[in-house]
Structure 1
Amino acid sequence: MVTHEDLLFFQVLSTSTSLAEAARRLNVTPPAVTQRLRALETRVGVKLVDRNPRGLRLTDEGELIATEGVNIAHALEDLAERLSKRTEQVRGNLRVAAPYGFGRRYVASVMQSFAATHPFVTVKLDLSENPVRQVAETCDLIVHIGALPESDRLVTTLAPNRRILCAAPAYLDANGPIRHPQDLSAHKCLALRENSEDVTLWRFAKNENESVTVRIKPVMSSNDGEIIRQWALAGMGVMVRSEWDVVEDLEAGNLQEVLPEWRPPSADVVALLHARHGRSGRTSAFLQCLRESLSPVPWRALK
């Protein structure tokens, strides 16, 4: 028997160039993907994927599941949604994706409360470095921060969030003042690799008519924002980090804003909703809970 989750899994697999790519997008290990594929092939009784040096190739049966499976998965969810409307209960599978740090701090607790309030909904939260790229196909709602990628999803803003250039007071005392963004080329910079953005190109604007772009040479970089923050707190260099992540450190004096008159581009917190499922009862109910949790904006209420 092929389940709804099997269809979603095979949808990701069929659009990947390799098992390793599928594993990254599903946030699991390649052996786990191989094991799940074998189990699915055993249940349906036919081979679905051929592997060769050039990558993956779907068999005729695999092509059938890839083509028809999406329609079947959507039909099952639509049926569950129509039934839930008759009973006035929110039902079905809710799949949410978010960046690591923000997801841990602000999304996980909302999902916990949502699951407790709606016992007929099965919830799944995927945290990853780049949820739009890695798990987009299988999610009803994606929390995204930063430059918006090209997407056919509906976009709605959840909360304002600006980026802040900052460093530990000890670093600034030891390495001299920063009076202009161009001075950063002579300073130790910490770069966060995220969302496929050019991490060595930092942009700043002083007003509508005055802006500058600086090409930095990072002395340290990571794809984990918490690691970058800890390095900055340790006095290892200057970083650009989201307001939601550093406001407490700024208030406590552990970090100091640099060049406050020059601001990096804002990175509002937004929700990307699947065009087909964006208005389902479970997605709409969760989106409302998420909005309420971010109003008033937590990181600005601290100021």
Structure 2
Amino acid sequence: MNETLDIRFLLVIRESESLLAASRKLGLTPSAVTQRLQQMEKKLSIRLLDRSARQLRFTDEGEFLCLRGAELVEQFDSLLADLQERRSGFVGKLKINAPFGFGRQYVAPAVAAFQRLHPEVEIALSLSEQPMVEVTDRFDVVIHIGELRSSNLVCHSIAANRRYVCASPAFIEQHGLPEHPDNLTTLPCIALRENNEDVTRWHFTRARKTLNVRIRPALSCNDGSVIRQWACEGHGIIMRSEWDVADALADGTLIRLFPGWKLPDANIVALTHQREGLPARTVNFLRFLKDQFATQPPWRQ
């Protein structure tokens, strides 16, 4: 145990710009930090820091100890987490990634509610405009909306969600009500840029007929709330998820276009790195999400 404390102490110094900054992080005096460092060097018979440099600079041996020590500390923490999890099943860290809009409106409240039920679980929620691009950061759960491209991740269904093409009453009054998706090629459209996808190709189906329309967006943005606002203000036609525009369609702020044509569904899914062997906190969070949305998604109530 003492060895892991020494390694943690050394890692704090390595992450700091100076011994003074390290002492502040550790809650110790600079002299106490220096004394403890000297004790470690004496015990190991190795010089860990080059004190002749103006800035903190570790020796080769010090760098080696930090590198291997960080791995050992991570393994030790994982071991303790596993032991605690065997006891209660609801402890440890849970890292979640979700898209900005859906994450703010639906995932964030669900995360807070889950953590309230299980206060020993530490949850870190990250919102991103490109969650599928940043998945390499090893999140425990990634919330994704829409088609899942080629991926090694495991998909867990959370909720059904359609896509609609919409415009405001003011836009329709100015440009007329388009009767066919082909009309989109000559009308101002608004595109949402996300996950490095081709956002200018809108795919429609009706019965057995398929239709691909290439729009030329007058406006585009990487934030769904912005393009929705632009559409409500009459700047163009948008294609948006049902979860985002259901309220606007209900109160008449937006009007659905081409109701006889269907766009690809954009179902809500949760992605994990494996199906088996997930920690209890992850399994129960996925179950909690499904209970929140699957029976009757809030955007359909």
Q: Does 1:133 align with 2:144?
A: no
Q: Percent identity?
A: 37
Return the alpha-carbon distance in structure 1 between the equivalents of residues 167 and 72 of structure 2.
Answer: 51
Structure 1 residue 183, shift from structure 2 partner: 0.7
Return the alpha-carbon distance in structure 1 between the equivalents of residues 188 and 63 of structure 2.
Answer: 51
Partner of 2:217: 218
Return the alpha-carbon distance in structure 2 between the equivalents of residues 136 and 114 of structure 1.
Answer: 25
Alignment: residue pair count: 258
Structure 1 residue 134, shift from structure 2 partner: 1.9
Return the alpha-carbon distance in structure 1 between the equivalents of residues 281 and 69 of structure 2.
Answer: 24
1:288–1:214 CA distance, 2 compared to 1 (3 A) = same
Partner of 1:39: 16
Partner of 1:20: none
1:63–1:127 CA distance, 2 compared to 1 (3 A) = farther
Gaps of 5+ in 1: 7-35, 47-58
1:148–1:296 CA distance, 2 compared to 1 (3 A) = same
- Residues 137-172 of structure 1 show CA distances to partners (whole Å, capped at 9, x for unaligned) of 231001001221332221111001111011111111
Partner of 1:26: none
- Residues 212-248 of structure 1 show CA distances to partners (whole Å, capped at 9, x for unaligned) of 1111110000000000000010011100000000001
Q: Which amino acid aligns with 1:205?
A: T
Partner of 1:197: 197
Instruction: Give the superposed CA RMSD.
Output: 3.2
Q: Does 1:183 align with 2:160?
A: no
Written as runs of structure 1 = structure 2, the 5 A alignment for 1:257-276 is: 257-275=256-274
Q: Which amino acid aligns with 1:100?
A: F
Return the alpha-carbon distance in structure 1 between the equivalents of residues 164 and 65 of structure 2.
Answer: 50
1:229–1:61 CA distance, 2 compared to 1 (3 A) = farther
Contact kept? 1:154, 1:278, Cα under 8 Å: no
Q: Which amino acid aligns with 2:81?
A: A
Return the alpha-carbon distance in structure 1 between the equivalents of residues 167 and 255 of structure 2.
Answer: 6
Gaps of 5+ in 2: 1-5, 23-36, 38-47, 50-59
Return the alpha-carbon distance in structure 2 between the equivalents of residues 182 and 60 of structure 1.
Answer: 68
Contact kept? 2:7, 2:70, Cα under 8 Å: no
Partner of 1:285: 284
Q: Could you say what secondary structure the match of 1:39 adopts?
A: coil
Which entry has the higher C-alpha Rg, 1 or 2?
2
Q: Could you say what secondary structure the match of 2:143 adopts?
A: strand
Return the alpha-carbon distance in structure 1 between the equivalents of residues 180 and 64 of structure 2.
Answer: 57
1:89–1:61 CA distance, 2 compared to 1 (3 A) = same
Q: Could you say what secondary structure the match of 2:264 adopts?
A: coil
Structure 1 residue 136, shift from structure 2 partner: 3.9
Structure 1 residue 88, shift from structure 2 partner: 2.2
1:182–1:74 CA distance, 2 compared to 1 (3 A) = farther
Normalised by the length of structure 1, the TM-score is 0.75
Written as runs of structure 1 = structure 2, the 5 A alignment for 1:143-154 is: 143-154=143-154
Q: Could you say what secondary structure the match of 1:245 adopts?
A: helix
Normalised by the length of structure 2, the TM-score is 0.75
1:146–1:248 CA distance, 2 compared to 1 (3 A) = same
Q: Could you say what secondary structure the match of 1:132 adopts?
A: coil
